[in-house]
Amino acid sequence: MDQTYMKTQKILPLVMSMAIPMVLSMLINSLYNIVDSFFIAKISEDAMTAISLVFPLHNFAGAVSIGFGVGANAVTAFFLGEGNKKNADGAASLSLLLSLVHSLFLTTGLVIATVPFLRSFTGSQTIIDYGREYGSIVFGCLFIGQVGLIYEKLFQAVGHVRIAMFSMIAGCVTNIILDPVMIFGIGFCPAMGIRGAAIATVIGQVVTLVCYLVACKKGMLGLRLSLREGWQYRNMAGRLYSIGIPAILNQALPSLLITVLNSILVAFSEVDVLILGVYYKLQTFIYLTANGIVQGIRPLVAYNYGAGILKRVREIFRTALYLAFIVMAVGTILCLLIPQDLIGMFSENEATIRAGAAALRIICSGFIVSAVSVVVCGTLEGLGFGVMSFVISLLRYAGIILPAAWILSRMFGAAGVWHGFWVSEFITAATAVILYRAVMRKIDG
């Protein structure tokens, strides 16, 4: 297993070779999110509202697996850059063991919490029933996605991003194909409604995990994984969590944001709650693409930092930033030019489409500048400064936008919530630049 190309290959081709497979994976994943919501919206607006309300819980579960996976990714890549294969194996094994523990607690907690959580936002028994049915299946099978995401981060850490890409795409495509079949009933499959959407999601995750396990069986990971060995390296848990916990909080903050914004918007109408849910489905297409770039550079940053080549770390950061700017510019253009078409994929109600289009035009004002915060957070995680990354995300998802949305909503109604997004992005980007420069001065010594 040779990763020396991470510190020798030219920066742009290297970043592109790592980022493009992850961007493609994120695009397919985004397409899955949109297609999944598209078919669920065809059931009814109540079904789509239920998914919007369950989303924060689902996102929190994903936050734990992705965030802890960031810690596994960064620590494993650092040891590989340092040339310490034994510690890299130990860190990877411990990460796998801890992910199983996390999934046990999450499944129990989320299955119990789903109905009370839904009742705190709506009195509609139909919406609650939809959310309970969907959540009981997805949360009950949570361990499959949790373990799959750890494997994804480990394959990224060793530079095998194409395997991660193939596995993720296989699961997402399976899900996309099964959605209409299981929701509406095609061929021998009965119509299962929202329950079918949940089952299709779980089957897609199973396909992804199987792909990873087959690749590991063929020796493609290049790391020795053992749950018993993971326990022997439990002294590394502190290092994994020092990066993983801030990254988990980074990932979980959007759930907090959506929950609080839902509580603000529900005072105006349930249509505004629906619009927020639709926006978060649409924005995944943009932000997951940018996140694909970040996932591509994180192991490169960690590896070169472990190898002591800080000049390359800076060049990797700048290259990723330029690429993220391009992605965000495309997202801004789409939201300005065709917002009605985007919202129209999820609702046939003309009033909802008009209100949603107006919201997209406002929110997208902050897309381009948000690239700064996104890339800085990923770079700081690769460098092991997870707390700094969390500070940026805390400002972006809570510290600025929540008070701004509350104050502006008192002045402009639901539109004030949408204005809170771009206000937050501009202030957070300025803070991110300051923290990034401070960290780079510190590690320069």
Q: 230-266: per-residue pLDDT in tens?
A: 888 888 888 888 877 877 777 777 778 888 898 899 8
Kindly state the DSSP code that residue 385 receives in the 8-state scheme.
Answer: -
Q: Which of 276, 300, 294, 296 is nearest to 363 (CA)?
A: 276
Mean pLDDT of the chain: 86
CB atoms within 10 A of CB 139: 22
Measured CA distances, 83 to 86, 87, 243 (Å): 9, 9, 20
Q: What is the pLDDT of residue 56?
A: 78
Which two tokens mark 224?
Answer: 């020795």
pLDDT digits (tens, 9 = 90+) for 176-208: 899 889 988 887 888 888 889 889 989 999 999
User: How much is the pTM?
Assistant: 0.71
pLDDT digits (tens, 9 = 90+) for 128-179: 988 899 888 989 888 898 889 889 888 888 878 888 888 988 998 898 899 8
Q: Give the three-class secondary structure for 198.
A: helix
* Interatomic CA distance for residues 50 and 158, integer angstroms: 39
